[in-house]
Structure 1
Amino acid sequence: MSDFENKVYIITGGGTGVGRSISLKLAERGAKVIINYRKSKKEAMEVTEKITEYGRVALPFKADVAIEKEVSEMISHVIKEFGRIDGLVNNASITTQIAMNDLESATDEIWDSLYEVNVKGMFHCIKAVVPFMKKQGSGAIVNLGSVAGTTGIGSSIPYAATKAAIHNMTRSLAIALSPHIRVNCISPGAIDTRWWSGNKDKMYELVGNLPLQLISSPDDIAEAVLFQLTQASVTGQVFTIDNGQTL
């Protein structure tokens, strides 16, 4: 029996990119998967269908993580449906492409929207699942950060700042929620997802000299997330998966 058999996992932004890979890999290993989405209904439905086709359980659920009430409703629904939550993968994130030296374009509105989703959105989800995980006496949370949060270089300054906040919030929460709930973070370098379609040149420019001469696939990141969900001795860690980009 796999570590994931019949366990219940919520993946925010679970219909596209890395979230899609995480949802599929968890389901393949026997987990029950809640695929949260905000705008990508079509993609979330496609992933759900794919999972149900191979006899596993998937539930698509629309909620904007930036709105605490919608997050609470999602968690209540999951508890009503499955009775437990074993893990949360905070994958939902937004960005905007702004040249690093273009401070004028980093408006208040952009700062607020990125912070609302990327940082507070993750916190809303964690806050909502914690009471149930505490009651069970176990739970694992994985947040998706970025090397932008370490290097300061990314699609925009506000984006890099939100990712640095996620890395630090992971450490704070790992301490706050121990011993029963583990909190970790994956910090990917460049990943080949739809974010970069039409911006491939910028991606290669940003990553610079890659020792492994590879761009990670969503599956590479998903495997690392599964590792953090199951490793009982790992908490408060930010794992960098970047093909050597930050060396």
Structure 2
Amino acid sequence: MFEQKVVLVTGGSSGIGQAVCIRLAAYGAKVIVHYSNSKAGAEYTLNCIREQGGEGYIVQADVSSEEEVKHMVALAMQRYGELHCVVNNAGATEQWPLEDLDGIPDEVWDRLFAVNVKGMFYVAKAARAYLIQQADSAIVNVGSVAGTTGIGSSLPYAVSKAAVHGLTKSLAFALAPHVRVNAIAPGAVDTRWWAGHEEKMRRLSGDMLLKRISTPEDIAESICAMLVQRSLTGQIITVDNGQTMA
């Protein structure tokens, strides 16, 4: 499915990003594993890729810094010389009561938008010149049902993910017809963000029709499918076990 294709995955050191890296490598991709802080997590991802006979490369960057993103993409190009797909997964969250409008510091708003929105834009911008050289290239941004429902770990987080959905549609116009751009909006996913917040996350998840929580591997499989669907662009695909239906 991805034989000899080079794919950059941001936030590849844990959770959904890690699962995406491992799944892409299993399908034959050469995976550029980005991390921000957890080098150990990225190295674990790379080891998993190599154990299954795959190929990968680790790069570090703060995606909220355009200069660091440019350097990251330059290193990837030095390594492989081409780029076919991007999975914009790197993100930040903050646990904050939705009703506490007075308590949310400006720093929280600034950090979440810098990472979740501007970071994805910087990656797409830096990768564009290389993606358009390919016959079939794609970007998948990782949004959230919080961006659709307005309910999430915090108000700034939900709003930032709504912005990711808007960014996806605008990029689909801006990069057409060369690059397909879509977003996935996962519902509740069993990742490290649940640790210590299990009860709150269950309340936020509601009564899901399929009576299950997605695994990172579930979301990874959906992202891989979106990357290869040649008729798909500008779409926000919800993968949530019926969470937003309940």
TM-score (norm 1): 0.97
Q: Is this contact kept in 1: 2:8–2:86, CA < 8 A?
A: yes
Deviations 1:24-61 (A, max 9, x none): 00001110001100111101001111212232211111
In structure 1, the partner of 2:238 is 240
Counterpart amino acid of 2:56?
A
1:13 and 1:58 mapped to 2: Cα distance?
A: 14
- Provide the alpha-carbon RMSD of the alignment: 0.9
Amino acid at match of 1:177: L
Distance 1:135 1:233 in 2: 19
Alignment of 1:204-223 (within 5 A): 204-223=202-221
Partner SS for 2:231: coil
- Specify the alignment match of 2:4 in structure 1: 6
CA contact (8 A) 2:59 2:76 kept: no
SS at match of 1:130: helix
Q: Name the count of aligned residue pairs.
A: 245
| Separation (CA, whole Å) in 2 of partners of 1:45 and 1:105 | 38
1:127 aligns with 2:143: no
Query: Counterpart in 1 of 2:177?
Result: 179
Partner of 1:70: 68
Q: Structure 1 CA distance, aligned partners of 2:236 and 2:123? A: 19
1:155-176 per-residue CA deviation (whole Å, 9 max, x = no partner) reads: 0000000000011111111111
Cα displacement (A) at 1:188: 0.5
Residue aligned with 1:103, SS: coil
2:24·2:31 contact (CA, 8 Å) conserved in 1?
yes
Unaligned 5+ residue runs, structure 1? none
Would the aligned equivalents of 2:59 and 2:75 in 1 still touch at CA under 8 Å? Answer: no
1:142 matched to 2:140? The reply is yes
1:135 deviates by 2.7
Within the alignment, does 1:154 sit opposite 2:152 as a pair? yes
Counterpart of 2:66, as a letter, is: E
Show CA shifts across 1:92-132 (max 9, x none).
01000001001122111000000000000000000000011
Q: How far 1:137 sits from its partner (Å)?
A: 4.3
Deviations 1:128-152 (A, max 9, x none): 0001112334410000000000000
- SS of 2:123's equivalent? helix
Residue 200 of structure 2 corresponds to 202
So what's the TM-score if we normalise by structure 2? 0.98
Deviation of 1:80 (Å): 1.3
Residue in 2 that maps onto 1:104 = 102
Identity of aligned residues (%): 50
Unaligned runs of 5+ in 2: none
Give distance in 1, aligned partners of 2:201 and 2:115.
Answer: 23
Question: Residues of 2 paired with 1:138 and 1:79: CA distance?
Answer: 18
Runs of 4+ in 1 over 2 A off after TM superposition: 135-138
